[in-house]
């Protein structure tokens, strides 16, 4: 699939999930999380990925250090976010500016105050010095060979209070070499008509290249972004799943889908918008924020229809009852009663894993039915490729590899005052004809079970010694239903070279974890034995 659009050209799709999205209440991303999300964003084909603020905190510094070496971006350029120099120092001498310069990012997005009252009350400096801060910092970074975008903070409020000054900030940045001035509705209070008027005026008056950065405080972030584009903005900022502070940022997928599918403006590489649903859900698994079923375009309910009344008319012409074909965003039409994925997506997924299912309609139907049934009980195969591959194996080859057969397990966790808790697990299983009863200890019940399981299997399969549980995520489904809730566990296992993710489900978190552990070890063993 080749890019037919220049992602760093006439129109920019600029993602700030890793920086502004991470401001969302309750959302915390590790460096590894950020690297994973960056890969998903690149797979969607965005033009820019804002990775964070190097120098402002050790995590973001570390992210850029690793990103430069570890990310092999096909589509996107990496942008570092940071502020203009502090008042009264040279840009070259400001250590925070230095961190941006040395981040390894080809683009720096500089946030600058454009609202006069913020300059005075928050920065506590003069309007003139603020302009100098913009000018010096942009010039310095340009001279060091970086592309510079300006984020004009509180621009719309500033424009209302002091239009001349707000415009002067943009002009100053532009003349110093910034290539885009993104107008930020930082407090999120704008409506589409107002955004259109301001953007129009900025484009007409200053001639700068305008970008737009919206928040959803009026419920209009997507519409405000589109209004800005209609008025001349050629750079849109947003986040996956609309993550962000307060009510969130503009949902980048909705913005892009509206541009491509409604307004016939191609802004991602040809065909990549079809990755939108997969990307949105995969990112949600990393952030551990439950995806919103009602989310436009990518929500599980977005193309769901209560069958009853409409069913026959839907069969005649589904487009009578949907605003567009969900295939365009990688989603599926669903008639409620059934659940989730269609056969087409299972076939695609199978192909991705090396199974050609296209020739056997019956097999495909059987797998699809089983996936639907399991997902209705809380499984998710979107983020758990390894469990899905084991399921395919069961159906295609008539069973999963039988490296071991579990008889029972038990795990005890206890504590005494002043001591850390300790967990002890006993696993009974048969492997290669021998029965093992093994007890393992660990920092937690899952760790103890993992130790015992791998020690028991390790007699026959010593290679499991190098398997390591490197991530563990728990989500309660059916929130609000207390003790009847279903627990879903995702476990990531590593063999030192690659990693894989498995899923387990159950009323009991330990049982769900056990299911994911067993899948994880089975998958790892199969990989060793097949390749």
Per CB under 8 A, 264 contacts a second copy: no
H runs (alpha helix) in 15-106: 31-44, 58-70, 95-101
Question: Minimum Å distance from CB 175 to a second copy?
Answer: 28
Cβ proximity to a second copy, 237 vs 447, nearer residue = 447
**Cα–Cα distance for residue pair 87/487, rounded to 1 Å:** 52
Cβ proximity to a second copy, 298 vs 390, nearer residue = 298
β-strands 304-306, 334-336: how paired? parallel
**Cα–Cα distance for residue pair 213/217, rounded to 1 Å:** 13
Question: Quick one: 528 exposed, middle or buried, by C-beta within 10 A (0-12, 13-18, 19+)?
Answer: middle
| Site size for a second copy (CB under 8 A) | 121
Which of 2, 408, 462, 531 touches a second copy (CB under 8 A)?
Answer: 408
Q: Which stretch binds a second copy (CB under 8 A): 3-11, 163-171, 205-213, 418-426?
A: 418-426
Question: Minimum Å distance from CB 174 to a second copy?
Answer: 26
Interface with a second copy in residues 501-530 (CB under 8 A)? 506-511, 514
Kindly compute the dihedral angle of the four CA atoms of residues 228, 229, 232, 238, in this order, to the nearest 10 degrees.
80
CB 212 within 8 A of CB 194: no
Cβ proximity to a second copy, 120 vs 201, nearer residue = 120
**Cα–Cα distance for residue pair 446/509, rounded to 1 Å:** 10
Interface with a second copy in residues 57-86 (CB under 8 A)? 57
DSSP letters spanning 120-163: IIII-S-HHHHHHHHHHHHHHHHHTT-EEEEEEETHHHHHHH-H
DSSP structural state of residue 115 = S
Cβ proximity to a second copy, 92 vs 476, nearer residue = 476
Which of 126, 175, 193, 402 touches a second copy (CB under 8 A)?
Answer: 193
Positive or negative: CA dihedral 139, 144, 147, 148: negative
H runs (alpha helix) in 162-191: 163-176
Which of 45, 192, 330, 440 touches a second copy (CB under 8 A)?
Answer: 192
Per CB under 8 A, 473 contacts a second copy: yes
Cβ proximity to a second copy, 45 vs 242, nearer residue = 242
Closest C-alpha to 296, from 264, 329, 273, 320: 329
Q: Which stretch binds a second copy (CB under 8 A): 5-13, 72-80, 240-248, 390-398?
A: 240-248
Question: Minimum Å distance from CB 106 to a second copy?
Answer: 26
Interface with a second copy in residues 433-452 (CB under 8 A)? 442-447
- Using alpha carbons only, give the angle 429, 434, 439 rounded to the nearest 5 degrees: 45
Per CB under 8 A, 482 contacts a second copy: yes
Listed in sequence order, the residues at least 6 apart from 354 whose beta carbon sits closer than 8 Å to its beta carbon are: none
Quick one: which H or E segment has residue 280?
Answer: helix 276-287
Question: Minimum Å distance from CB 487 to a second copy?
Answer: 7
| C-alpha Rg value of the chain to the nearest Å | 26
Which of 258, 345, 387, 502 touches a second copy (CB under 8 A)?
Answer: 258
Per CB under 8 A, 254 contacts a second copy: yes
Cβ proximity to a second copy, 248 vs 269, nearer residue = 248
Which of 10, 70, 74, 189 touches a second copy (CB under 8 A)?
Answer: 189
Strands (DSSP E) along 233-341, which ranges? 235-238, 304-306, 334-336
Per CB under 8 A, 122 contacts a second copy: yes
Per CB under 8 A, 335 contacts a second copy: no
**Cα–Cα distance for residue pair 82/108, rounded to 1 Å:** 7
Question: Minimum Å distance from CB 219 to a second copy?
Answer: 4
Question: Minimum Å distance from CB 95 to a second copy?
Answer: 17
Interface with a second copy in residues 347-366 (CB under 8 A)? none
Q: Is 267 left (phi over 0), alpha (psi -120 to 50) or beta?
A: alpha
Task: Give, to the nearest 10 degrees, the angle between helix 127-143 and helix 163-176.
Answer: 20
Per CB under 8 A, 247 contacts a second copy: yes
Interface with a second copy in residues 288-307 (CB under 8 A)? 288, 290, 292-297, 299, 301-306
Question: Minimum Å distance from CB 55 to a second copy?
Answer: 14
Strands (DSSP E) along 443-522, which ranges? 468-476, 487-494, 499-506
Question: Minimum Å distance from CB 460 to a second copy?
Answer: 20
Cβ proximity to a second copy, 389 vs 450, nearer residue = 450
Which of 18, 46, 71, 226 touches a second copy (CB under 8 A)?
Answer: 226
Per CB under 8 A, 248 contacts a second copy: yes
DSSP letters spanning 187-208: T----HHHHHHHHHHHHHHH-P
Question: Minimum Å distance from CB 514 to a second copy?
Answer: 7
Q: Which stretch binds a second copy (CB under 8 A): 87-95, 191-199, 357-365, 386-394?
A: 191-199
What would the two tokens of residue 369 be?
Answer: 């039915």
Binding mask 150-179 for a second copy (x = CB under 8 A): ----x-------------------------
Which of 69, 362, 415, 496 touches a second copy (CB under 8 A)?
Answer: 415
């Amino acid at each position: 699939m080749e890019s037919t659009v220049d992602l760093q050209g006439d129109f920019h799709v600029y993602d700030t999930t890793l920086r502004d999205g991470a401001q969302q209440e309750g959302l915390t991303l590790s460096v590894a999380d950020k690297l994973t999300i960056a890969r998903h964003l690149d797979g969607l084909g965005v033009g820019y990925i804002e990775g964070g603020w190097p120098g402002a905190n050790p995590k973001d510094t570390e992210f850029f250090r690793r990103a430069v070496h570890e990310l092999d971006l096909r589509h996107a350029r990496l942008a570092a976010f940071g502020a203009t120099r502090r008042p009264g120092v040279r840009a070259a001498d400001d250590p925070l500016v230095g961190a941006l310069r040395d981040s390894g990012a080809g683009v720096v997005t500089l946030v600058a105050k454009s609202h006069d009252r913020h300059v005075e009350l928050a920065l506590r400096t003069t309007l003139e010095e603020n302009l100098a801060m913009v000018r010096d910092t942009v010039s310095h970074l340009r001279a060091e060979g970086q592309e510079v975008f300006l984020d004009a903070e509180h621009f719309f409020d500033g424009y209302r209070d002091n239009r001349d000054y707000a415009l002067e900030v943009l002009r100053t940045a532009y003349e110093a070499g910034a290539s885009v001035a993104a107008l930020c509705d930082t407090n999120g209070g704008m409506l589409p008509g107002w955004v259109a008027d301001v953007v129009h005026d900025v484009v007409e008056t200053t001639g700068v290249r305008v970008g737009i950065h919206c928040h959803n405080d009026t419920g209009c972030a997507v519409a405000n972004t589109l209004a800005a584009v209609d008025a001349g903005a050629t750079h849109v900022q947003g986040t996956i799943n609309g993550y962000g502070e307060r009510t969130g940022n503009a949902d980048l997928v909705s913005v892009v889908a509206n541009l491509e599918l409604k307004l016939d403006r191609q802004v991602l590489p040809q065909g990549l918008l079809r990755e939108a649903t997969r990307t949105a859900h995969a990112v949600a698994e990393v952030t551990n924020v439950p995806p919103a079923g009602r989310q436009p375009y990518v929500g599980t309910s977005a193309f769901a229809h209560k069958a009853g009344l409409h069913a026959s008319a839907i069969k005649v012409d589904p487009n009578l009852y949907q605003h567009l074909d969900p295939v365009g965003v990688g989603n599926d039409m669903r008639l409620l009663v059934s659940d989730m994925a269609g056969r087409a997506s299972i076939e695609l997924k199978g192909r991705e894993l090396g199974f050609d299912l296209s020739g056997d309609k019956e097999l495909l139907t059987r797998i699809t039915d089983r996936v639907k049934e399991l997902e209705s009980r809380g499984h998710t195969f979107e983020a758990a490729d390894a469990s899905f591959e084991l399921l395919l194996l069961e159906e295609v080859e008539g069973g999963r590899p039988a490296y071991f057969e579990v008889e029972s397990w038990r795990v005890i966790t206890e504590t005494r005052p002043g001591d850390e808790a300790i967990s002890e697990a006993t696993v009974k299983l048969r492997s290669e004809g021998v029965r093992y009863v093994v007890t393992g200890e660990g920092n937690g019940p899952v760790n103890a079970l993992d130790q015992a399981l791998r020690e028991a299997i390790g007699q026959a399969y010593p290679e499991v010694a190098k398997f390591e549980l490197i991530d563990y995520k728990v989500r309660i489904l059916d929130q609000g239903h207390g003790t009847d809730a279903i627990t879903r566990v995702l476990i990531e296992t590593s063999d030192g070279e690659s990693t894989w993710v498995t899923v387990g489900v159950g009323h009991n978190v330990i049982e769900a974890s056990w299911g994911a552990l067993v899948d994880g070890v089975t998958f790892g063993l199969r990989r060793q034995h097949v390749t």
